[in-house]
């Protein structure tokens, strides 16, 4: 049997710097970039997909009422022996976009809470009524349900009312509410 003498591997100063550079600079930067890409391309799209499947409005709130007064069937009528028409008349109310934009109003309200589910917001409205705030309502903005009390056109009036609300709810503040937002008024 023949023995071979292997060269002993010696790390020079330059080799040690490469190791330190690889483990303490390149590896953390690479892991941060990969984590960011994973969150942006895999996790967030699946979360958004789950939000689209959840109904934003529970039944019974009555916020969406379709005004479709379509009359079907034979609508022929006679006036002085003449037939006026036999086609169905569609009386669907169509509001143009310009009319909707001009109908938008903004007012001030006291925001008391912000919830991710409407059931929690409704429970908080019940708590408000228990504390003698009967004018509570819920505004759906994006993925959250904001609980408000009071509607004011003048900001100073809202701040005066805020003083009363802060006696019970210290975190309350004045916020603007747009009529374009979905507003629920639970009973």
Instruction: Establish if 174 belongs to a structural domain.
Output: yes
Higher-pLDDT residue of 7 and 87 is 7
Instruction: Establish if 84 belongs to a structural domain.
Output: no
pLDDT value at position 27? 92
pLDDT value at position 12? 74
What CATH number is associated with residue 175?
A: 3.30.70.1070
pLDDT value at position 16? 84
pLDDT in tens, 135-167: 888 888 888 899 988 888 988 998 998 898 888
pLDDT value at position 48? 66
Most confident segment among 11-20, 52-61, 62-71, 73-82: 11-20
**Whether residue 180 sits in one domain with residue 109:** yes
**Whether residue 177 sits in one domain with residue 111:** yes
Domain count of the chain? Answer: 2
- 100 DSSP β-pair partners: none
Instruction: Establish if 85 belongs to a structural domain.
Output: no
As a whole number, mean pLDDT of residues 37-46 equals 85
Q: Judge whether residue 64 has pLDDT over 60.
A: no
Instruction: Establish if 128 belongs to a structural domain.
Output: yes
Give the separation between CA 177 and CA 184, rounded to whole angstroms. Answer: 12
Q: Judge whether residue 23 has pLDDT over 70.
A: yes
- Dig out the tokens for 12 from the structure: 């020079």
Burial label, 42 (beta-carbon count in 10 A; 0-12, 13-18, 19+): exposed
Instruction: Establish if 142 belongs to a structural domain.
Output: yes
Instruction: Establish if 59 belongs to a structural domain.
Output: no
Quote the longest CA-to-CA distance of the chain: 127
DSSP codes of every residue in the chain: ----PPPPP---HHHHHHHHHIIIIIHHHHHHHHHHHHIIIIIHHHHHHHHHHS-SS-TTS--------EE-S----EETTEE---S-EE------HHHHHHH--EEEEEEEEEESSHHHHHHHHHHHHHTT-TTEEEEEETTEEEEEEEEESSHHHHHHHHHHHTTT-TT-EEEEEETTSEEE---
How sure is the predictor about 6, in pLDDT bands with cuts at 50, 70 and 90? low
Residues 151 and 111 sit within 8 Å (Cβ to Cβ): no
pLDDT in tens, 78-135: 445 555 544 444 444 444 454 555 567 888 889 998 988 888 888 888 888 888 888 8
Residues 122 and 61 sit within 8 Å (Cβ to Cβ): no
pLDDT value at position 4? 63
Structural domain for 147, as ranges: 105-184
How sure is the predictor about 51, in pLDDT bands with cuts at 50, 70 and 90? low
- 115 DSSP β-pair partners: 145
pLDDT value at position 82? 53
């Amino acid at each position: 049997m023949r023995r071979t003498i292997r060269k002993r591997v010696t790390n020079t100063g330059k080799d040690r710097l490469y190791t330190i550079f690889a483990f303490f600079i390149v590896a953390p930067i690479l892991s941060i970039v990969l984590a960011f890409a994973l969150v942006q391309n895999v996790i967030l799209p699946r979360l958004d997909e789950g939000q689209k499947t959840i109904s934003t409005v529970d039944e019974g709130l009555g916020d969406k009422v379709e005004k479709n007064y379509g009359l079907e069937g034979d609508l022929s009528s006679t006036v002085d022996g003449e037939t006026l028409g036999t086609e169905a008349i569609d009386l669907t109310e169509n509001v143009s976009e310009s009319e909707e934009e001009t109908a938008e109003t903004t007012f001030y309200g006291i925001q008391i809470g912000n919830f991710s589910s409407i059931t929690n917001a409704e429970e908080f409205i019940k708590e408000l009524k228990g504390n003698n705030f009967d004018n509570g309502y819920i505004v759906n903005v994006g993925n959250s349900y904001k609980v408000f009390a009071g509607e004011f056109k003048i900001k100073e009036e809202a701040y005066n009312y805020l003083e009363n609300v802060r006696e019970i709810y210290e975190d309350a503040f004045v916020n603007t509410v747009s009529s374009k937002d979905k507003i629920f008024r639970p009973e």
